[in-house]
Amino acid sequence: MIRTARAVWRIGRVVVHGLHGLAVVLLRFPSLDVAGRQQRVQWWSIKLLRVMGIEVETVGTPRAGGTLVVANHVSWLDIAAIHATRPQVRFVAKSDVRAWPLVNRLVDAAATLYVERERRRDAMRVMHTIAEALAAGDAVGVFPEGTTGDGHALLPFHANLLQAAIAAEVPVQPVALRYRDATQAVSQAAAYIGDTSLAQSMWWIACAQGLVVRVQWLPAVGSRHADRRALAAHLHDQIALALGDETRPGEN
């Protein structure tokens, strides 16, 4: 009973926080510069995790300047977890996110780049857009698994978007994300996989006790003249090692 009441309270606070964020985006963002918007993005991300009962544990240091940030993908909260420590990162997200009410406006506010994965030409367009952003000094984040995993083992990495870093000749920084809770070293509450709906995922997370997301920034890797498949395999190995996962499914 107490657990259910706590979960309802957390979700209620998330709704209020989401509406507050939407008001900031609609009313304040037009008058803010880039730094001001990024500051609000970081504030919003930190508070979102806090009201959901999630503690952020940061290890390592994000690289400044033009950087392709490559992370494993577990939850819809991954972006907030990274933005809590590096709000400058512009993420590449599936176009499906645009259909999420409320969330889509908040995601737009973080200067998100969208890709329609079913269309090869659109992927090429986004790759060129990412390369331009990187060359201009932006940090861009991608999830090379292409979908969310269960948090235990990494899925194969797709190498295509890594070509953007190679073209712009900027470093790639891998990030290892892991969620744990009071009873599990790898929390299943955070996994957003299969047919799980956003509402179901929010409920499971709200019910979890002692949920912690560990954001581990690993050393950046040079990309100049790199082979994208070899680079994908190396990044996969580095993140797998940080997660304690010795499996190597390879990459596509």
Question: Which tokens go with 232?
Answer: 């994908």
Dist CA 106 CA 251 (whole Å): 31
Region 224-245: mean pLDDT is 92
> pLDDT band for position 250 (50/70/90)?
very low
Spatial CA neighbour of 101 closest among 22, 45, 5: 22
Kind of pairing, strands 172-180 and 211-217? antiparallel
Q: Which of 20-24, 122-126, 131-135, 230-234 has the lowest mean pLDDT?
A: 122-126
Give, in order, the Cα–Cα distances in Å from 175 to each of 77, 155, 197, 216, 235. 14, 15, 25, 5, 9
Residue 250 belongs to some domain of the structure: no
Of the pLDDT bands very low, low, confident and very high (cuts 50, 70, 90), residue 26 is confident
Digit-coded pLDDT (tens) for 33-69: 989 999 999 999 999 999 999 999 999 999 999 999 9
Answer yes or no: are the C-beta atoms of 21 and 44 closer than 8 Å. Answer: yes
pLDDT at 100: 67
Q: Is residue 252 part of a domain?
A: no
Average pLDDT, the chain: 88
What is the per-residue pLDDT for 120?
Answer: 64
Looking at residues 160-171, what average pLDDT do you find?
93
* pLDDT tens, position by position, 80-114: 999 999 999 998 877 676 666 666 777 777 778 77
Q: How far, in Å, CA of 109 to CA of 29, rounded?
A: 8
What residue numbers bound the domain in which 139 lies?
2-243
What pLDDT does 9 receive?
92
Report residue 195's pLDDT band, with 50, 70 and 90 as the boundaries.
confident
Does 249 reside within a domain? Answer: no
Judging by DSSP bridges, how do beta strands 54-59 and 113-115 pair with one another? unpaired
Report the domain count for the chain.
1
For the ranges 15-19, 119-123, 129-133, 202-206, which has the lowest average pLDDT?
119-123
**C-alpha to C-alpha distance for 105 and 97, rounded to whole angstroms:** 10
Taking residue 48's Cβ as centre, other Cβ atoms within 10 Å add up to: 21
Task: Note whether residue 24 is domain-resident.
Answer: yes
- Cα distance between residue 171 and residue 163, in whole Å: 12
Straight-line distance from the first to the last Cα atom of the chain, in angstroms, rounded to the nearest whole number = 46
pLDDT value, residue 84:
96
pLDDT (mean) for 20-32: 88
226 within domain boundaries: yes
The bridge status of strand 67-71 relative to strand 139-142 is parallel
Q: How far is CA 24 from the centre of its chain?
A: 21
Residue 11 C-alpha from the chain's centroid: 21
Band (128; pLDDT cuts 50, 70, 90): confident
Judged by average pLDDT, the poorest of 51-55, 149-153, 227-231, 240-244 is 149-153
Q: Looking at residue 102, what is its pLDDT?
A: 65
Q: Tell me, yes or no, whether 248 lies in a domain.
A: no
Provide the CATH number for the domain around residue 52. 3.40.1130
pLDDT of the residue at 203: 93
Give the C-alpha separation, 199 to 164, whole Å. 34
Which amino acid appears at position 24 of this protein? V
Tokens of 164: 């953007």
Confidence of residue 246 (pLDDT cuts 50, 70, 90): very low
Residues forming a β-bridge with 211 = 54
pLDDT digits (tens, 9 = 90+) for 196-223: 888 899 999 999 999 999 999 999 999 9
Q: Identify whether 30 is part of a domain.
A: yes
Q: Is residue 171 part of a domain?
A: yes
Instruction: Supply 19's token pair.
Output: 């509406």
